[in-house]
A and B are shown apart, each in its own frame.
Chain A
Amino acid sequence: MISSPFIPRVPLSSSSSSSSSSSSGPVMLPYLSNYPRPKRNDFKSRNLAFMPLKCIHNSRFDSSSESDARLPSFSASCLTATEATLASSDLVADRLRRVVAEFRSLPEPIDRVKRLLHYAALLSPLGDSARAPENRVTGCTTQVWVEAELDKLGRVRFRADSDSEISKGFCSCLIYMLDGAEPEEVVKVKSEDLADLNVGLHGKAHSRVNTWHNVLIAMQKRTTALLAGSE
């Protein structure tokens, strides 16, 4: 089976307070409205929150931007005061919870794929040089590329891209969760945790074409290699 952004169309008990969007409504980032606004005086993050969606997801693969290292490039809306004070381990878990909550709030499969396509649009494309064979994620039916780098604070910065819009959406979510995290936290995430995302998995099976699983494993392998290299 292919990796799918849907699961069967059954009502889901939402674990989120965010509202369910209709299939005809505009694609929104629920946490833009449902999470507290940043309290700290971070003009950069606040400005990002009001930028057009297409502009938010600027790639920040620049390891010199130390101040941004813990700030996921996924969306400025994630830059809440709560998150700013979380330890790295809490950061990844918190982001995972948010993504799970968001997709669980969408009972209609078509809404979940729309959301994925929306996130795909937020992901900056990789240049041709980064779309190199050594960056390919193996095992996907689509082409997926992942780049990883340690920044000056020793955190892992990820970039990813795909020739499939749905796979790109998966990548976008994974980058939101893992970009800027401590390497130890990246390797700790289990693919089973992603099953709760209610998107991209048929049951909890590990399909060889499961993009969630394959991209996560690729990110973890690259992280392990970076750690080994830095030692």
Chain B
Amino acid sequence: MPSTLLQLCCSAMETLAPKLPSLKVLNPSSSSSSPSCSTARSSSSLRAGLRRPFSLSISASAVREGDPAVGSVSLGHVTRTDFPILHQEVNGSKLVYLDNAATSQKPTAVLKALQNYYEAYNSNVHRGIHFLSSKATDAYELARKKVAAFINASESTEIVFTKNATEAINLVAYSWGLSTLKPEDEVVLTIAEHHSAIVPWQLVAQKTGAVLKFVNLDETESPDIEKLRQMLSRKTKIVVVHHVSNMLASVLPIEEIVLWAHDVGAKVLVDACQSVPHMAVNVQDLDADFLVASSHKMCGPTGMGFLYGKRELLSAMPPFLGGGEMISDVFLDHSTYAEPPSRFEAGTPAIGEAIGLGAAIDYLSGIGMQKIHEYELELAKYLYENLLSVPNIRIYGPVPSGNTNRAALCSFNVENIHPTDIATFLDQQHGVAIRSGHHCAQPLHRYLGVNASARASLYFYNTKEDVDDFVRALNDTVSFFTSFK
């Protein structure tokens, strides 16, 4: 029956395309997906195929080794087979996961690393002399080396494992900030910072009498870096800025900002949560003093983040949390503290999660961050251009142009429809997962005159088909709410 054939055809495309040159015409990376396949997508047999892609799925590493046919297959198609979670139905529809700025999915390699740790060598680190503890310690410290190499830190002792990026920022605020800031000192931030980069500094400012100064957006709806430059003075002690905005998709020129800040003797803390997973970040090139990122946004486990700090800064900083692991000697009335990074890792760390992050870095490095970045730039453009076709839509952040690249995410509102209503309908009627709310950026939303927005955010395992599905579903959602009114 033709419909069955179609279903088979589309199902095969989903799982076999990377290996079959003859299926190039079906490759949706050409942005013109076959209408017949679109129709068949809702069939139950296709869904079954999507739920259980058969064992011919091709890992990113296998593809990298060079099947000439894969040259025309997008990175998204190649890598999505590594992510079992993507191949399922949600509320009766094929899952389209577009909430990657909130958290990324995990490839099989990371899942296996976690399972292997708990099955084969789970043990506490740094203090045991037995075989398992030694093996766990080696793996934990190897993960630190992998993180250091990934962001090109000069040594692995400059990497402090934290439970997330938020804790990493708090560590700097409470340790460096409380011991350094004096009344009238200034902390410069942008209004587009994530709450986790604002609130710790508010708390520290309240304790020290330091002043927070915020940079607004310019006419392009990016943080106004000229204003930021003008705001810097000898009073400025630290500049706290994102690298890539989780709402505006804008990218800040960190190297320039660091130069300006260092000129006035200020330090720079970079919130790299939305950049490290998506592009090559080199802390030595940036010359950033502190940089934080989060494991779960870069294919690693939750419960794990890291702080990069220049060695001389970390060495001079007092402890943040007290406990085991971070001490040198403990007496009843005082203690002496270990050298960084142990000084800042009180208690048993998230060992399995660190090892999982190491596996995620191996996976990402295997693909290549430059390749990921280039593919995501293409996706970003495709997403932005296609979203513009939705009636009465307002997309926040800079308009992409020759000089202005956007990250592969779009925050938006559709006139007279609440973004949470949109996200709800997209999830339940179309299986499309996006975020709604203020994205932990209330000051930015307030500045833009809205309480909330919807956000679709992509990662390298997304495809242009995902974008097509999303835009189609969004149009249907808008029609539904409009007709109901």
Q: Which A residues contact B (CB, under 8 angstroms)? A: 2-6, 8-9, 109-110, 113-114, 117, 141-143, 163-167, 209
Contact = CB atoms under 8 A, between A and B. Distances in A.
B420 A166 contact: yes
Given A109-B428, A117-B484, A166 B421 contact: yes
A206 to B, nearest CB: 17
Contacts, number: 55
Contact of A109 (B91, B423, B437): B91
A141 B437 contact: yes
Given A5-B424, A9-B92, A142-B452, A109 B418 contact: no
Given A4-B428, A113-B428, A167 B91 contact: no
B320 to A, nearest CB: 27
Given A109-B428, A141-B436, A165 B421 contact: yes
Contacts of B481: 165
A53 to B, nearest CB: 14
Contacts of A141: 420, 436-437, 452
Q: Chain B interface residue count: which class?
A: 10 to 19
Contacts of A166: 418, 420-421, 424
A141 B452 CA distance: 8
A135 to B, nearest CB: 15
Contacts of B420: 2-3, 141-142, 164, 166-167
Nearest to B426: A2
B451 interface: yes
A2 B436 contact: yes
Contacts of B436: 2, 141
Choose among B92, B417, B425 the residue with the greatest number of A CB atoms under 10 Å from its CB: B425
Given A9-B92, A109-B429, A3 B424 contact: yes
Contacts of A8: 91-92
A2 B424 CA distance: 7
Interface string B195-232: 00000000000000000000000000000000000000
A143 B451 contact: yes
Choose among B420, B452, B481 the residue with the greatest number of A CB atoms under 10 Å from its CB: B420
A109 B421 CA distance: 14
A165 B418 CA distance: 7
Contacts of A113: 424-425, 428
Contacts of A209: 437
B246 to A, nearest CB: 16
A9 B42 CA distance: 14
B427 interface: yes
Interface in B14-38: none
A109 B423 CA distance: 14
B91 A6 contact: yes
B424 A110 contact: no
A113 B425 CA distance: 9
Interface in B424-443: 424-425, 427-429, 436-437
A166 B437 CA distance: 14
A165 B477 CA distance: 13
Contacts of B92: 8-9
Interface in B168-197: none
A163 B418 contact: yes
A4 B420 CA distance: 9
Contacts of A4: 424, 427-428
B427 A2 contact: yes
25 contacts: A2-B423, A2-B424, A2-B437, A4-B428, A6-B91, A6-B424, A6-B428, A9-B91, A9-B92, A109-B428, A109-B429, A113-B425, A113-B428, A114-B484, A141-B420, A141-B452, A142-B418, A142-B452, A163-B451, A164-B418, A164-B420, A164-B421, A165-B417, A165-B481, A166-B421
Nearest to B451: A143
Given A5-B428, A6-B424, 11 more contacts: A2-B424, A3-B424, A9-B91, A109-B91, A110-B429, A163-B451, A164-B421, A165-B418, A165-B421, A166-B418, A166-B420
Interface string B442-485: 00000000011000000000000000000000000000010010
A9 B90 CA distance: 10
Contacts of A2: 420, 423-424, 427, 436-437
